[in-house]
């Protein structure tokens, strides 16, 4: 199982794919060992950008967090993974997830029925292709028969899934190579998510549970009010999505009647402080039982300076 200290989210900014590529290269030059790219919607495709990053870097690991599975067939995603692995062998991790009804049904016009069952079947098809080289599957959602070329090297790309609720974490423990959280309280990860993954791993008779990659937004600022405001500006949608509302409620931090995050929830989700404080807090989170961190930079005032400081922290995190 791949287990790293911490990785950095490369956001999709106004400079598009060229800006993302530059950010990936800069992260590697600063010693960051893993970068993650968010995916989805009518914007420059981060998977394509990761291919450019794979071809122009040597060490940094590259991951998706996450590819929405409804708009893309698993064979198509497998072919993309093969291209990435060909450019950066052993440096690719593929995170996939169901996304949310407002996007799947509202944007793409696709039906989103029984998403967890759909994710299970999608993951089964994708793993068979990338880890065994062939798939012959007839299920509720997919009927697929395909094989890699006879001379193809099996990429065995690690396949992680996004998870918010208990059943999704159990699925991650059963079938995936890791669970990726997003704006999720750490206590909920430790007390609900990890035990659910352990139950899934036990059900599948796996020797160990796969890692949880815990999303931690970080603001390099000692002004807590400014950090809260920056967090809310950067993550405005999650308190309005039903899947997240349910998870926040399960974690003990329900959103308000106006579908807003409380200050208490924001303080739980977002780490802030000077560089020394942030590094200490991230170390505490690792020591508390989080296997790996996926860190989003919450921009407060000076994006470039704050990102340089955050990158140095991630590169030096023990």
- 59 neighbors 21 (Cβ within 8 angstroms): no
Annotate 133-176 with three-state secondary structure. Answer: CEEEEECCCCEEEEECCCCCCCCCCCEEEECCCHHHHHHHHHHC
CATH (domain of 214)? 3.20.20.30
Q: Is residue 290 part of a domain?
A: yes
- 310 neighbors 278 (Cβ within 8 angstroms): yes
How many other C-beta atoms are found inside a 10 Å radius of the C-beta of residue 202? 13
Q: Is residue 222 part of a domain?
A: yes
Closest CA to 47 of 36, 59, 33, 32: 36
Count of the separate structural domains present in the chain: 1
Quote the pLDDT of residue 29. 98
Query: pTM for the whole thing?
Result: 0.95
Quote the pLDDT of residue 290. 96
SS3 of residue 272 by DSSP? strand
pLDDT tens, per residue, the chain with 318 residues:
556 789 999 988 778 899 999 999 999 999 999 999 988 778 888 899 999 999 999 999 999 999 999 999 999 999 999 999 999 999 999 999 999 888 898 999 999 999 999 999 999 999 999 999 999 999 999 999 999 988 778 999 999 999 999 999 999 999 999 999 999 999 999 999 999 999 999 999 999 999 999 999 999 999 999 999 999 999 999 999 998 999 999 999 999 999 999 999 999 999 999 999 999 999 999 999 999 999 999 999 999 999 999 999 999 998
Quote the pLDDT of residue 150. 80
Closest CA to 35 of 59, 14, 67, 61: 61
Instruction: For Cα atoms 68, 57, 310, give the angle at the middle one, nearest 5 degrees.
Output: 75
Helix, strand, coil percentages (3-state) for the chain, rounded to 5, are 45, 20, 35
How many other C-beta atoms are found inside a 10 Å radius of the C-beta of residue 101? 16
Quote the pLDDT of residue 3. 62
- 36 neighbors 67 (Cβ within 8 angstroms): no
Q: How far apart are CA 306 and CA 172, in angstroms?
A: 33
Q: Is residue 57 part of a domain?
A: yes
Q: Is residue 244 part of a domain?
A: yes
- 96 neighbors 159 (Cβ within 8 angstroms): yes
Give me 5's structure tokens: 């200290």
Quote the pLDDT of residue 38. 87
Quote the pLDDT of residue 211. 97
Quote the pLDDT of residue 52. 97
SS3 of residue 104 by DSSP? helix
Q: Is residue 186 part of a domain?
A: yes
How many other C-beta atoms are found inside a 10 Å radius of the C-beta of residue 295? 25
Give me 282's structure tokens: 């991230």
Partnered with residue 179 across adjacent β-strands are 161, 212
Q: Is residue 112 part of a domain?
A: no
- List pLDDT tens digits, range 241-299: 998 999 999 999 999 999 999 999 999 999 999 999 999 999 999 999 999 999 999 99
- 107 neighbors 149 (Cβ within 8 angstroms): no
- List pLDDT tens digits, range 205-232: 999 999 999 999 999 999 999 999 999 9
Give me 150's structure tokens: 């006879």
SS3 of residue 69 by DSSP? coil
Q: Is residue 136 part of a domain?
A: no
CA Rg value for the chain: 19
Q: Is residue 122 part of a domain?
A: no
Quote the pLDDT of residue 183. 97
Using N-to-C axis directions, what is the helix angle for 16-29 and 46-55, rounded to 10°? 40
Instruction: For Cα atoms 125, 128, 134, give the angle at the middle one, nearest 5 degrees.
Output: 105
- For residue 208, the enclosing domain spans 6-72+161-316
């Amino acid at each position: 199982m791949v287990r790293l200290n911490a990785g950095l989210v490369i956001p999709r900014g106004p400079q598009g794919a060229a800006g993302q590529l530059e950010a990936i290269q800069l992260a590697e030059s600063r010693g960051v060992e893993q970068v993650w790219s968010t995916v989805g919607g009518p914007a420059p495709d981060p998977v394509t950008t990761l291919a450019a990053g794979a071809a122009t870097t040597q060490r940094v690991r590259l991951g998706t967090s996450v590819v929405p599975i409804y708009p893309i067939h698993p064979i198509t995603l497998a072919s993309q993974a093969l291209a990435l692995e060909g450019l950066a062998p052993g440096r690719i991790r593929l995170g996939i997830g169901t996304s949310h009804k407002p996007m799947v049904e509202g944007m793409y016009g696709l039906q989103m029925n029984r998403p967890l069952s759909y994710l299970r079947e999608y993951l089964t098809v994708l793993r068979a292709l990338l880890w065994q080289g062939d798939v012959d599957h007839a299920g509720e959602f997919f009927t697929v028969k395909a094989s890699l070329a006879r001379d193809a090297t099996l990429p065995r790309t690690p396949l992680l899934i996004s998870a918010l609720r208990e059943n999704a974490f159990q699925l991650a423990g059963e079938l995936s190579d890791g669970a990726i959280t997003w704006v999720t309280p750490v206590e909920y990860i430790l007390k609900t998510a990890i035990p659910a993954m352990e139950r899934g791993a036990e059900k599948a008779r796996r020797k160990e549970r796969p890692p949880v990659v815990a999303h931690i937004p970080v603001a390099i600022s000692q002004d807590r009010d400014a950090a809260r405001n920056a967090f809310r500006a950067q993550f405005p949608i999650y308190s309005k999505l039903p899947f997240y509302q349910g998870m926040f409620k399960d974690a003990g931090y329900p959103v308000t009647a106006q579908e807003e995050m409380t200050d208490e929830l924001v303080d739980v989700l977002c780490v802030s402080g000077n560089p020394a404080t942030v590094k200490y807090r991230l170390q505490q989170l690792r020591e508390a039982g989080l296997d790996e961190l996926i860190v989003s930079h919450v921009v407060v005032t000076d994006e470039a300076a704050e990102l340089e400081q955050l990158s140095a922290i991630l590169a030096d995190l023990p």
